[in-house]
Structure 1
Amino acid sequence: MERRHLLRGAVVGAGAVAFGFTMTRESFGYPARTGPSPYGALRAADANGIQLPQGFTSRIVARSSQLVAGTSHRWHGAPDGGACFADGSGWIYVSNAELSNGAGGVGAIRFNANGGITGAYSILSGTNRNCAGGETPWNTWLSCEEVSRGYVYETDPRGVNAAVRRPAMGRFNHEAAACDPDRRVIYLTEDESTGGFYRFIPTTWGNLSSGTLQILTQNGGSLSWVTVPDPSASSTSTRNQVPNTRRFNGGEGCYYRGNICFFTTKGDNRVWAYNAAANTLEIVYDDDLTANPPLTGVDNITGTPVGDLYVAEDGGNMEICIITPDDVVAPFLRITGQNSSEICGPAFNPAGNRLYFSSQRGTSGSSSGGITYEVTGPFRTSR
């Protein structure tokens, strides 16, 4: 099942695991094929070194090791996963710091209704390799440690409430999280070459202090969720406690929309779709299954209400690529002159007309040289 050259039409198990064609609209035509972007071709790089489609502009909102403009807050190194939260008539962008030895954490930038920066501050510190995470329906940010037996921390984007460690969500090499309010569960990815795909079921929705951690298993063509006996991984890693665990090669970002959790695996350059309503698993994108694949080094992922997915590259040629509901994949933007970096933390503001992301190591190739950007333009609201 892990072979990368799979027949697109192969379907394993009715309502269980599918690779390729199904009759659901979200999966019609999977996997995505190389094609023209709905925004057109990329133009020459702008003053910030960003290639964008016609009508889009970029600006730098923060640089690692420097004060955020108009504030007394110094932006963290190695900016990684991020998300936006509504804040009155404005919004807040939160960003992880993927730094080791207790130097990790989360920073936040507050924007007014016009996009002006009105504040910046830390909402978590003293942690390790905070990679990706996920926002919750109750407006907190889950920041995940990408270390062996790492924790998930629940943080307040406004910086009012102290961050809280959530050990019930399991101790493993965490990557990202995505909340499913329909089933009241939280999906979790694991950055291991033989990693698992998890879901956490809180005892009370909205309270992550207790609950049940489960891992996806596959027996023949049947997918099942099985409880992890020891989420603390005190003697055995969580991914090795349950027979028939479904393995994924380097879990990265995940994003939930309309019964489907989309997630990525960097080891095989794939984007997956777990349909929770149908209990199916499909390949949305595989760089081996399309000609001239534009997307390699798949990493963080986000999406829009219109159905577009935006996938950032760790490596490749430093692009954020779009995957449309018509199953076309194409570059949306490209960062030039930063081949020793990776793109992290793509997230849209609440209005959907500004996209935030970071180049983790910028032009210097060092964690202290990260750059956080904003792209503004006519993002589509219909198609």
Structure 2
Amino acid sequence: MAFGFTLWSEALAYPAQTGPSPYGALQAADANGIQLPQGFTSRVIARSTQTVPGTDYVWHSAPDGGACYADGTGWIYVSNAEMAAPAGGAGAVRFSSTGQITGAYSILTGTNRNCAGGDTPWGTWLSCEEVDLGYVYETDPFGVTPAVRRPAMGRFKHEAAACDPDRKVVYLTEDESNGCFYRFVPTTWGDLSAGTLQVLREVNGVLSWATVPDPDGSPTRTRRQVSGAKVFNGGEGAYYRNGTCFFTTKGDNKVWAYNAVNNTIAVAYDDNLTSNPPLTGVDNITGAAVGDLYVAEDGGNMEICVITPNDVVAPFLRITGQSSSEICGVAFNPAGDRLYFSSQRGTTGSSSGGITYEVTGPFRTSL
């Protein structure tokens, strides 16, 4: 178990069951209204429609999916804007080695309802449009290279992307009640301008990948083009590690584990298969090096829950006083000692009330 989420443990222990958090019980809400385990603290990084502290950049409304990138001795946090065009896009905050904010800027503008996405091994951010016939945009977290639309990755109601450097593919989720699970196979790894879009099929219990004949999705949507395509109820976040792509479906509150090595799929979490399920409204997902998964709630009781390699699920934090919002953009800094996320609508319940947070504390480094 030392390496976390090994194929052996996955095969034996799914799905996760309610249990005690490795960090202990949540404490009383802090000044930011966040309940955290003992030893953890929170701070507000940015608020929608207001300038990011120490900069002249106005933070976007409806902050959503995010990721962190190394920047010399510091790092960058990227965040999508789930706003209708032309207000959609993505912004970034730059931090020094001590966590001080040193800059903020836009990396994508003029797009439509940029929900989740994913980082790439070559250091770009894939920003996904959650609209019918939406696109994936490849962006530069440093804000230097202009963003590029990647139509070869398909036009559908995109949600998240997760890169698999072992098989040199990018997994993609679709936010439809009858959505599919895709993978994009680039012609050249590291170049997303050309390649093949495939969809996961299941025929007589056997999984396979089939090429989508028309990735453009018109007139027939991509999810309807391949007979036997496996259907998922509202695809959301995705995260790849060690041969497995974990992804979530909000329509049935599940976390799935696609084992790319054996080409099998299992349910890693199902709120109907554990007592007093702490995790509902499953949405964005990320992971820590130790093997823990962190899953954010869209609704529920506004928690980020941890799923351990021992398949225990428990609350890690809870945001109070924001029941009309959702948590999104969960991402660790490169050192793994700071967790970033947003409350998309904050205390106001409107997209202009979004708040982006940082949590610092003794995240575990061993099991």
TM-score interval for Structure 1 and Structure 2 normalised by the shorter chain = over 0.9
Mapping of residues 1-383 of structure 1, within 5 Å: 24-383=8-367
Distance 1:317 1:27 in 2: 30
**Secondary structure in 2 matching 1:168:** helix
Amino acid of the structure 1 residue aligned with 2:174:
E
Distance 1:345 1:246 in 2: 27
Alignment: residue pair count: 362
Amino acid of the structure 1 residue aligned with 2:336:
G
Amino acid of the structure 1 residue aligned with 2:192:
L
Query: How has the CA–CA distance of structure 1 residues 244 and 105 changed in structure 2, closer, same or farther, with 3 Å as cutoff?
Result: same
Query: How has the CA–CA distance of structure 1 residues 74 and 23 changed in structure 2, closer, same or farther, with 3 Å as cutoff?
Result: closer
Q: Does the Cα contact within 8 Å between 1:189 and 1:196 map onto a contact in 2? A: yes
User: What TM-score comes out, normalization by structure 1 length?
Assistant: 0.94
Deviations 1:184-225 (A, max 9, x none): 000000000000000000000000000000000000110000
Distance 2:158 2:94 in 1: 27
Deviations 1:234-255 (A, max 9, x none): 2100000000000000000000
Distance 2:329 2:85 in 1: 22
**Secondary structure in 2 matching 1:28:** helix
Distance 2:29 2:320 in 1: 7
Query: How has the CA–CA distance of structure 1 residues 183 and 368 changed in structure 2, closer, same or farther, with 3 Å as cutoff?
Result: same
Q: Which structure 2 residue ranges, 5 or more long, are not aligned?
A: 1-5
Q: Does the Cα contact within 8 Å between 1:27 and 1:284 map onto a contact in 2? A: no
Distance 2:85 2:138 in 1: 20
Deviation at 1:23, TM superposition (A): 7.5
Deviations 1:97-147 (A, max 9, x none): 000032100000000000000000000000000000000000000000000
Amino acid of the structure 2 residue aligned with 1:243:
S
Distance 1:59 1:24 in 2: 38
Distance 1:203 1:25 in 2: 34
Distance 2:11 2:272 in 1: 18
Deviations 1:262-303 (A, max 9, x none): 000000000000000010100000000000000000000000
Deviations 1:290-334 (A, max 9, x none): 000000000000001111000000000000000000000000000
Deviation at 1:382, TM superposition (A): 0.4
Deviation at 1:26, TM superposition (A): 2.9
Amino acid of the structure 2 residue aligned with 1:189:
T
RMSD: 0.8
Runs of 4+ in 1 over 2 A off after TM superposition: none
* Identity rate, percent: 77
Q: Which structure 1 residue ranges, 5 or more long, are not aligned?
A: 1-21
